[in-house]
Amino acid sequence: MSDPYLQHLTEANRIFADQIKNADQKAAYVFTFLLAMLVWSSETRHAFNWTNLLAAPPVARVVSLCLCLSIIAALIASVLVVAPRSRPGRSLFYWGAWPAAGERLLAARQAADEAFLFDEYLQNTRTLAAICHSKYRTVTFALRGVLCAVVAYAVLLALPEGV
């Protein structure tokens, strides 16, 4: 590849694909952490029990509700991060565009269309950037939910009995 712009787009494609994987991994960590918190923490399970929640003192009730809501929101967000994402397009790099994309590639090769690959990489880079933007916005929400859950959990542990 002698075209520096095409080289740049190729590298951007690789970086964006890596960032998509990183967002998915972060969401998986959030999901795993929250599930472990739900399974092994008696305080967390206690907060999700409506009988216990209604019988709790007002401060503990509010903190427990914050814990429950932040865990639920973070779990939903982490699932949405890894949910399949697609954008409409005909890029060569999207498996759903094949076999028609392969035919376009062959036609461009026969026509010696030098701009074809650049245009394909540009379209794919735009698609990957949009997917990255969406995933990182959602993973940020999931991480903030975990932070809220941890703070609420720590407050619950620190509350004296009867408060």
For 66-122, how does the pLDDT look when each residue is reduced to its tens digit (9 = 90+)? Answer: 999 999 999 999 999 988 776 666 677 777 778 888 898 899 999 999 899 899 999
Q: Does any domain span residue 115? A: no
How high is the pLDDT of residue 52?
Answer: 87
Check residues 150 and 102 and name the one with the higher pLDDT.
150
Exposure pattern of 53-83 as b/e (b: 16+ CB <10 Å)? eeebeeebeebbebbbebbebbbebbebbbe
Q: Does any domain span residue 48? A: yes
Q: Does any domain span residue 25? A: yes
How high is the pLDDT of residue 146?
Answer: 97
Q: Does any domain span residue 106? A: no
Full domain range(s) for residue 74 = 4-88+135-157
Q: How many structural domains comprise the chain?
A: 1
